Amino acid sequence: MTEKAPVIAVDGPSGSGKGVVATHLAEKYTFHLLDSGALYRLVGVAARQAGIDLDAESLDEGRLGDLAFRLDVAFEPTGDPEDPLILRLSGENVTDRVRSDAAGVDASRVAAIQRVRDSLFALQQSFRREPGLVADGRDMGTVVFPDADVKIYLTASAEARAERRYNQLKHKDIGVSLHDLFHSIQARDERDMSREASPLRPADDAYVIDSTDMTIEEVLDNVLALVTEKLF
Ligand code: DC
């Protein structure tokens, strides 16, 4: 056991199943849960509320960095594995807005800004507390917790991920279509993987799981076997 609280890092692209895996692990081991994607999504929502146009060709990096630094957020666990957190921005419940596909696209834009990433760094590390943390994101194993005890990188084909996102969102995000989601996932992959600031990639010591042809139960069996071997 390390001196600091143990960390299980779960990274991967949108729709890879990492949210389900991270929630399951946090529940099983009663670890804290960091949904770092939600933080970037909240920066996007806060920016829109402040009247910042995130579709503009060039973004005001200083202003967005400051906004991320001053972000007043609260994560409230619900105990519901389907929707594990209520997300608050300055006290207001913005969970549905944060989970929309549009918020994912905005998040991917603000996440490419190094100053935004720097602003969220200490906040993310502050989630590391006993008895341990499951950290879900894109750069948990590479940048935020490079000394994580277990690093998992989950991936799947863009088609499979679009279909999963569609099934998650169709009841909540009116007007969402499979076709649009597929293109939005491809665009986000491209932006998240090719950006200079902490690009999405597996850590050298990550255990990579391609879940395209696996059920969520098979993925969980693999992950639990790995965590048990490394941590318990
Ligand atoms: O996991 P998600 O779909 O909620 O993430 C939304 C966006 O935030 C994603 O497109 C990239 C960005 N992100 C990031 O750059 N680094 C993280 N650790 C988590 C998310």
**What's the pLDDT score for residue 1?**
45
* Ligand 1 binding pocket mutation candidate from 118, 138, 144 (most atoms within 8 A of CB): 138
Q: What is the pTM of this model?
A: 0.93
Token pair, residue 207, equals 């255990």
Q: Is residue 31 within 6 Å of ligand 1 at its C-beta? A: no
Q: Indicate which residue's Cα is closest to atom 13 of ligand 1.
A: 37
Bridge partners (DSSP) of residue 108 are: none
Q: Indicate which residue's Cα is closest to atom 2 of ligand 1.
A: 37
Distance between CA atoms of 37 and 73, rounded to whole angstroms?
A: 13
Note the pLDDT tens digit of each residue in 110-143.
999 999 999 999 999 999 999 999 999 999 999 9
Q: Is residue 13 within 6 Å of ligand 1 at its C-beta? A: no
What structural domains and CATH numbers belong to the chain? 7-231 (3.40.50.300)
The alpha carbon of residue 99 and the mean position of all alpha carbons in its chain are separated, in whole angstroms, by 11
**What's the pLDDT score for residue 174?**
67
Q: Outline where DSSP puts E strands in 126-205.
A: 133-137, 150-155
Q: Is residue 16 within 6 Å of ligand 1 at its C-beta? A: no
Q: Is residue 189 within 6 Å of ligand 1 at its C-beta? A: no
Token pair, residue 216, equals 């969520």
Per-residue pLDDT of the chain (232 residues; tens, 9 = 90+): 447 999 999 999 988 999 999 999 999 999 999 999 999 999 999 999 999 999 999 999 999 999 999 999 999 988 887 788 899 999 999 999 999 989 999 999 999 999 999 999 999 999 999 999 999 999 999 999 999 999 999 999 999 999 998 988 887 766 789 999 999 999 989 999 999 999 999 999 999 999 999 999 999 999 999 999 999 8
Bridge partners (DSSP) of residue 166 are: none
CA 225 to ligand 1 center in whole angstroms: 26
Distance between CA atoms of 36 and 40, rounded to whole angstroms?
A: 7
Distance between CA atoms of 102 and 119, rounded to whole angstroms?
A: 22
Coil vs helix vs strand at 199: coil
Contacts 24+ apart (CB under 8 A), 218-221: 219/17, 219/21, 219/154, 220/21, 220/24
Q: Which of 232, 170, 223, 162 is nearest to 20 (CA)?
A: 223
